[in-house]
Amino acid sequence: MDERLRKRTIAFYLAGILNAFLGLYVVIEGVSFLPPDMVRMLAIFFFVFAAVDFYFPYAMKKKWREDQARQQEKKG
């Protein structure tokens, strides 16, 4: 795998973990200082971005593999 792709993949995974932890923090601790609607909205926001951060590496790897297969076909 390309080094740049590997670094991007790691960055996305780290961002996903961070977003998941922030979402959990808001769910657990946010109720003590935020209104329930705000807690719900912030938690959904963080969890959606965590899901996107975990999906992007999958999509990038899939595209990279397809490009590699296409290049192999062209070579013969």
Per-residue pLDDT tens digits of the chain, which is 76 residues long: 788 999 999 999 999 999 999 999 999 999 999 999 999 999 999 999 999 999 999 999 999 999 999 999 888 6
Number of domains in the chain: 1
pTM, two decimals, is: 0.83
Helix, strand or coil for residue 1?
A: coil
Cα–Cα distance between 46 and 60 in angstroms, integer?
Answer: 21
Which residue is listed with tokens 């999906």?
55
Amino acid at 50: A
Among residues 47, 43, 42, 41, the alpha carbon closest in space to that of 20 is found at 47
Question: In terms of residue numbers, what domain contains 50?
Answer: 3-75
Radius of gyration of the chain (CA): 18
